[in-house]
Structure 1
Amino acid sequence: MDPLLLGLLVALATIFVLFSGVSVALGLLIVSAGFLLVFDGFRSLELMPEILFGKLDNFALLSIPMFIIMGASIASTRAGADLYEALERWLTRVPGGLVVSNLGACALFAAMSGSSPATCAAIGKMGIPEMRKRGYPDGVAAGSIAAGGTLGILIPPSVTMIVYGIATESSIGRLFLAGVVPGLLLVGLFMAWSLYSTWRSGNAAVLGAGSYSWTQKFEILPRVLPFLAIIAGVLYAMYGGIATPSETAAVGALLCLLIAVIIYKLWNPADLWVVLRDSTRESVMILFIIAAAGVFSYMLSSLFITQAIAEWIGTLDVNRWILMGTINIFLLIAGFFLPPVAVILMAAPILLPIITTAGFDPIWFAVVLTINMEIGLISPPVGLNLYVINGIAPDISLKTILTGSLPYVACMVLAIILLCLFPDLATWLPDAVMGASR
């Protein structure tokens, strides 16, 4: 059978299996085993266990559970509430200070936890009621937190970037650095829209409210600064060549657990067990998807589907930006239905040779891909962050949350356009810190 036609059959079968309700990892294994059995015989199935476990034989994978523990220990405490309160105290007299505080808290908490749902939950529990109490529109209150939470998969340390690095054999440190400037760009765009939207509504809350003494402003900092110092230390150790991502993640996880115990009195063994249990569950889920995606990639390569698609794309006489636009549309649609990790692991083996042949930087592309995945987190039908916000504020309808999130989707699309026009936004910092890539 023609490999391109076979690739179409694989795509249709994968969509059907995943939409049937089967877990992503199990669905990929079912599709892989089925096509290998039909088109390559029983002999190819003998290699599946070796590929499955071989994909996990990677030292860099140790950083995933460590960063997840790091984020879970932070999310299990009042760190998010303290971070929000600290920013709110310092920015309360700034016009629109409350919405700026929320988005700033989302950005910082995302950097500490690396989790979008955790960021939404931690900051939203404090921020949404406070914004509504001060008269901010429900759409701004809910939409800003939903969008701010998506920064968890872009601002380092990001599990999504680690997965992309493993899937494409790219430098994880370089990928982390690539997400810094675009992450700050998105924060700026989110803040600009939030302030404009609040001002347009004629809301007096933009003028700020309340005041705090200098004592009140400084007294909360000791509870927040240790976590920020750990994040800065982890990033410095990685980018300074002191330790590998896995080693720094392990030290960061241990320090975050110690701070959670010392500062936030997380003494109860039951509470510590919940942190470790949830971290283990999420880590196993991600690692299982990575292993299954390795088998899926082997199936695509073994049946010459990946090679045929890359060759076919190479023969197309189209502008490379039209090609990139098509890839973005594909990623956007995939992100509507699948979690970011699954999309990256399924798409990266196919897209990497295509984008490199077209002359695009894989590190730059990682940022563009991640922003597409961010859009999926606040877009139906899956839109995980929308449901997290709805759980926090059930009296705000999903329609209102979605409507409030749409302008932030436009901000993300604008960010992708700016990255296309100025790719140095993503590549300058990695090149400046780690040297130009070859």
Structure 2
Amino acid sequence: MDPILLGAIVAIATILVLFSGVSVALGLLIVSSAFLLIFDGMRSLELIPEILFGKLDNFALLSIPMFIIMGSAIASTRAGADLYEALERWLTRVPGGLVVSNLGACALFAAMSGSSPATCAAIGKMGIPEMRKRGYPDGVAAGSIAAGGTLGILIPPSVTMIVYGIATETSIGRLFLAGVIPGLMLVMLFMLWSLYSTWKSGDKALLTAGNYTWKEKFEILPRVLPFLAIILGVLYAMYGGIATPSETAAVGALLCLLIAMIIYKLWNPADLWVVLRDSTKESVMIMFIIAAAGVFSYMLSSLFITQAIAEWIGTLDVNRWVLMTFVMLFLLVAGFFLPPVAVILMAAPILLPIITTAGFDPIWFAVVLTINMEIGLISPPVGLNLYVINGIAPDISLKTILKGSLPFVACMVIAIILLCFFPGLATWLPDVVMGEAV
């Protein structure tokens, strides 16, 4: 059978299996096993266990559970609320300081936790009621938190970037650095839109917040600065050549647990067990998807589907930006239905040869892909962050939350366009810190 036609059949079968409700990892294993059995016979199935466990035989994978523990320890405390309160007190005289402080808190908490739902929950519980109490439109209050939560998969340390690095054998350190400037750019775009929307409402009272004394501003810092110091320390150790990502993640996880125990009195063994239990569940889920995606990639390669698609696209007489547009549309649609980790593991190995052949930088592509995945987190029908916000504020309808998040989707599209015109926004910092890639 023609490999291109076979690839189309595999794609349709994968979509049908995943839409049936089975988990992503199990669905990939079912599809892979079925096509290997049909086209390669029983002998090919004997290789699946070896490929499955061999995909997990990677030292870099140790950083995933460590960063998840690091984020879970932070999310299990009042760190999010304290971070929100600290920024609100220090930005009180900034026009629109309340909405700015919410987005700033989302960005910082996302960097510390690496989890979009956790960021929405932690900051939203404090920020949404406060913004609504002061008269901010429900759409701005809900949409800003939903969009701010997505920053967790872009701003380092990002589990999504780690997964991309492992799937494509790209430097994780470079990927982390590549997300810094685009992440800050997205924060600024979110803030600008929120301020404009607030100003457009015509209520000047919204552009000012309460007054706090210097004592009130400084008294909250000791509860927040240690976590920020850990993030900076982890990044310094990684880029200063002191330790590998896995080693720095392990130290960061231990320090976050200790700070949670010392500052927030997380001494109860039951509470610590919840942190470790939830971290283990999330880590196992990601690891299972990584292993299953390895089998899926092997199936595509074994049946010459990957090679045929790459060769076919290489023969197309189209502008490379037209090609990239189609790739982005494919990723956008995939992100509407699947979590970012699943999309990256399924698509990155296939797309990487295509985008590199077309002359695109794989580091730059990682950032663009990640922002694309952010759009999926606040877009229906899955739109995980929309449902998290609805759970926090059930009296705000999903329609209002979606309507409030759409301008932030536009901000993400603008960010992607800016990255297309100025790719150095993603590649400059990694080249400066780690030298130009060979």
Interval containing the TM-score (normalised by the shorter chain): over 0.9
| Residue in 1 that maps onto 2:375 | 375
1:137 aligns with 2:103: no
Report how far residue 207 of structure 1 moved. Answer: 2.6
Deviation per CA, 1:182-220: give whole Å up to 9, x if none. Answer: 000000000000000010011234331210000000000
Report whether the alignment pairs 1:326 with 2:320. Answer: no
- Residue ranges of structure 2 left out of the alignment (5+ in a row): none
Q: 1:384 maps to which residue?
A: 384
Alpha-carbon deviation of 1:93?
Answer: 1.8
Question: Contact between 1:136 and 1:205, CA under 8 Å: does it hold in 2?
Answer: no
What is the deviation of 1:112? 0.4
Percent identical: 89
1:33–1:45 Cα contact (<8 Å) kept: yes
CA contact under 8 A between 1:82 and 1:223: conserved in structure 2?
yes
Does the CA-based 8 Å contact 2:144-2:404 persist in structure 1?
A: yes
Number of the residue aligned with 1:10: 10
2:238 aligned partner: 238
Match of 2:90 in 1: 90
State the one-letter code of the partner of 1:386.
L
Partner Cα separation in structure 2 for residue 120 and residue 101 of structure 1: 14
- For the pair 1:299 / 2:299, whether they are aligned, the reply is yes
- 1:10 and 1:421 mapped to 2: Cα distance? 35
- For residues 29 and 232 of structure 1, the distance between their equivalents in structure 2, rounded to whole angstroms, comes to 39
Quick one: distance in 2 between partners of 1:122 and 1:432? Answer: 35
Which residues in structure 2 correspond to 1:182-193 (within 5 Å)?
Answer: 182-193=182-193
Which residue matches 2:228? 228
Query: For residues 435 and 328 of structure 2, what CA distance do their matches in structure 1 show?
Result: 28
Amino acid at match of 1:226: P
Using structure 1 for the length normalisation, give the TM-score. 1.00
Judge conservation of contact 1:195–1:206 (CA < 8 Å) in 2. Answer: no
Is the contact between residue 198 and residue 207 of structure 2 (CA under 8 Å) also seen in structure 1?
no
Q: What secondary structure is seen at the aligned counterpart in 1 of 2:224?
A: helix
Say whether the 8 Å CA contact 2:189–2:411 is kept in structure 1.
yes
1:40 aligned partner: 40
Alignment correspondent of 1:436: 436
- 2:178 matches 1:194: no
Q: Rate the CA distance shift 1:206–1:6 in 2: closer, same or farther, 3 A.
A: same
Q: Counterpart in 2 of 1:156?
A: 156
- Does structure 1 residue 403 correspond to structure 2 residue 395? no
Which residue does 2:340 correspond to in 1? 340
Moved more, 333-342 or 202-211: 202-211
Report the Cα offset of residue 137 of structure 1.
Answer: 0.2
Contact 2:134–2:206 under 8 Å retained in 1:
no
Aligned position for 1:105: 105
Equivalent-residue separation in structure 2 for 1:333 and 1:229 (angstroms): 38
Q: Distance in 2 between matches of 1:67 and 1:365?
A: 23
Q: Kindly provide the CA deviation profile for residues 73-128 of structure 1, in whole angstroms up to 9, marking residues without a partner as x.
A: 00000000000000000111211000000000000000100000000000000000
Answer yes or no: is the 8 Å Cα contact 1:93–1:207 preserved in 2.
no
- Residue matched to 2:282: 282
Equivalence for 2:353: 353
Aligned length: 438
CA offsets per residue over residues 312-344 of structure 1, 9 Å max, x none? 000000000000010000000000000000000
Confirm whether residue 251 of structure 1 aligns to residue 251 of structure 2.
yes
Rounded to whole Å, the distance in 1 between the matches of 2:92 and 2:132 is 15
Following TM superposition, the consecutive aligned residue runs of length 4 or more in structure 1 with deviations greater than 2 angstroms are 203-207
Determine the C-alpha separation between the residues in 1 that align with 2:343 and 2:388: 21
1:124 aligns with 2:124: yes
